[in-house]
A and B are shown apart, each in its own frame.
Chain A
Amino acid sequence: MNELKASVLMRHEVGLHARPSVKLTKLAKGFDSRIDLGLSPDGPWVDAKSIVKVMATKAPKDSIIYFRAEGKDAKAALDALVMLVDGDFQNGP
C-alpha cells in the first residue's frame, strides 16, 4: 500500500504543547492507518498516536508539521490532521 504524505504550517501560539498534542493524538488514534509525524520532510518520525512522543517534539509556533500515513484510511487521516493544525486546533476531538 502506498504511503501518503502531507504537511501544514502550525501557527498555534504556544506550539505543539500539551493541549494541541492531546487533540492531535486523539484525532490520529481515530484512524486505523499508521501515522507518523515529523518536523522535517525526511523525519525523524514519531508515532502520531503516541501522546508522549508527540508532546516530546516540542514543535514551536510556525513549525511545518509533516505527516506520513499508510493504510486504508490514510488519506482521510491526513486530511483531518491537516485541517486540525490549519484550524489552529479549534475543532479537535
Chain B
Amino acid sequence: MNENVGIVIVSHSADVARGTAMMVEQMVGHEVPLGWCGGDPDGGLGTNVEAIMAAIDKAWSEKGVAILVDLGGAETNSEMAIEMLPDARRGRVVVCNAPVVEGAVMAATEAASGATLEAVRRTAEELTPV
C-alpha cells in the first residue's frame, strides 16, 4: 500500500497526458502513484471511460486518487469512470477543478507530503480563480 494520494491525468491528447506525467515525475518525483491516459485508440483526440478506469487502477492508493482533466469530455468521462468503480473505491476518487498541467504538478507536490485527498484537491484548486 502506498501512503500517498495517487494522481491521474486525463487529456484528449495522449501527448499532453504523457508530457504532463513526465513533468510530475521529473519535478516532484516517483513517490506519488501516477496514472495517465489520453487520445482514442486510433491515435486521434479523445477520452474514454475504460482507459480512465485503468489509469485510476494504476494510480490507486488507499488514501484515494485525484484526477486532473482538460476539457469537457475528459471531465464527464472521468465522472462516469468514478461511477463505475467498486463501492469501496468510489468515494475516494475526486475530479479537481484545476488546469491539467499546473494542477497535476501542484497536486502531486501536495500528495508527496502524505497529505489527505481533500488537501491535495484543495491545493490543485487554489489555482482556479473563484
Contact assessment for A51 and B27 in the assembled complex, using a CB-CB cutoff below 8 Å: no
| A25 vs B106: C-alpha distance when bound (angstroms) | 10
B interface majority secondary structure: helix
List of A residues within 8 angstroms of B106 by Cβ: 51-52, 55
| A65 vs B110: C-alpha distance when bound (angstroms) | 22
| A7 vs B72: C-alpha distance when bound (angstroms) | 45
Q: Which residues A1-46 have CB closer than 8 A to chain B?
A: 18-19, 22, 25-26, 29-30
Q: Can you identify 23 A-B contacts, CB atoms within 8 angstroms?
A: A18-B27, A18-B105, A19-B27, A22-B27, A22-B105, A22-B109, A25-B109, A26-B109, A26-B112, A26-B113, A29-B112, A29-B113, A30-B113, A50-B123, A51-B105, A51-B106, A51-B109, A51-B110, A52-B106, A52-B123, A52-B126, A52-B127, A53-B126
A residues engaging B (CB < 8 A)? 18-19, 22, 25-26, 29-30, 49-53, 55, 93
List of B residues within 8 angstroms of A93 by Cβ: 29
List of B residues within 8 angstroms of A30 by Cβ: 113
Q: What residue in chain B is nearest A51 (Cβ atoms)?
A: B109
| A58 vs B112: C-alpha distance when bound (angstroms) | 22
Q: Which residues B76-130 have CB closer than 8 A to chain A?
A: 105-106, 109-110, 112-113, 123, 126-127
In angstroms, how far is the closest chain B Cβ from the Cβ of A19?
Answer: 5
Task: Identify 16 new A-B residue pairs, CB closer than 8 A, beyond the known A22-B109, A26-B113, A51-B109.
Answer: A18-B27, A18-B105, A22-B28, A25-B109, A29-B113, A30-B113, A50-B123, A50-B126, A51-B105, A51-B106, A51-B110, A52-B106, A52-B123, A52-B127, A55-B106, A93-B29
